[in-house]
């Protein structure tokens, strides 16, 4: 990807992430096209060596490549501790959110309950978001349990994630989300996000 680097774009991308990471300046479509063949040959197994090399690279786009691979990789329950190690390294909302669904595919409910009460805020955020997009397959008992453990945290990224999870599920079962928001005291941010489609 380095030949595709665009310093002007990189500056803007880094600023969007509050200057936390350097970027090459490669937009997502160009990044995906550049690594398409590399990732296509790795769909049948998790390539931890590739993921770790991408995580060790300075520029943020490499972590995005790792997340792209994990999105399609056949992850298992035994991969969950390793996935947690990725969540807590170079943590920010972009990679944590990208890892949430792969984590959700691999993890058991018990693992996600443990993550919900983890000492690391980013691990908790991944637990909150791990069922995004499951629609009717959402385990509402698990969703509610994870959210309840995190209510009152006062953390922007947690409150925003709770709202996002509720908003997404409201597309499937608005009554359940309405009831949850009625029964529980949530932050203004969570309520605003969660009730957007109600």
Domain boundaries of the chain, sorted by first residue: 1-74
Asked if residues 167 and 193 have their Cβ atoms less than 8 Å apart, the reply is yes
The predicted model scores a pTM of 0.95
Q: Is it the case that residue 43 has pLDDT exceeding 90?
A: no
Residue 108 CA to residue 111 CA, distance in Å, equals 5
Place of tokens 């040959």: 41
Residue 82 CA to residue 99 CA, distance in Å, equals 12
Cα distances from 186 to residues 64, 121, 143, 150, 193, in angstroms, run 32, 18, 15, 10, 11
Residue 1: the pLDDT is: 87
Residue 41: the pLDDT is: 86
Q: Is the CATH code 3.30.56.10 the one for domain 1-74?
A: no
Encode pLDDT of 83-123 as tens digits: 999 999 999 999 999 999 999 999 999 999 999 999 999 99
Q: Is it the case that residue 64 has pLDDT exceeding 90?
A: yes
Encode pLDDT of 1-39 as tens digits: 899 999 999 999 999 999 999 999 999 999 999 999 999
Asked if residues 140 and 109 have their Cβ atoms less than 8 Å apart, the reply is no
Q: Give the number of other CB atoms < 10 A from CB of residue 140.
A: 14
| Helical residues (DSSP H) of 88-136, grouped into ranges | 93-106, 109-116, 121-129
pLDDT averaged over the chain? 97
| Helical residues (DSSP H) of the chain, grouped into ranges | 7-16, 28-40, 48-56, 60-72, 80-87, 93-106, 109-116, 121-129, 140-150, 156-170, 174-183, 188-194
């Amino acid at each position: 990807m380095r030949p595709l680097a665009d310093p002007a774009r990189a500056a803007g991308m880094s600023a969007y992430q509050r200057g936390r990471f350097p970027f090459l300046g490669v937009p997502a479509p160009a990044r995906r096209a550049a690594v398409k063949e590399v990732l296509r040959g790795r769909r049948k197994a998790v390539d931890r060596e590739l993921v770790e090399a991408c995580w060790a690279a300075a520029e943020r786009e490499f972590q995005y490549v790792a997340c792209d691979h994990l999105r399609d990789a056949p992850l298992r329950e035994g991969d969950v501790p390793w996935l947690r190690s990725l969540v807590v390294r170079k943590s920010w909302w972009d990679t944590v959110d990208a890892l949430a669904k792969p984590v959700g595919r691999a993890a058991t409910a018990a693992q996600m309950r443990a993550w919900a009460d983890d000492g690391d805020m980013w691990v908790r955020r991944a637990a909150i978001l791990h069922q995004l997009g499951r629609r009717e397959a959402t385990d509402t008992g698990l969703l509610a349990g994870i959210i309840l453990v995190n209510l009152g945290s006062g953390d922007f990224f947690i409150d925003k994630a709770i709202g996002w999870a509720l908003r997404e599920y409201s597309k499937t079962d608005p009554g359940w989300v309405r009831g949850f928001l009625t029964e529980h005291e949530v932050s203004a941010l969570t309520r605003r996000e969660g009730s957007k489609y109600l």
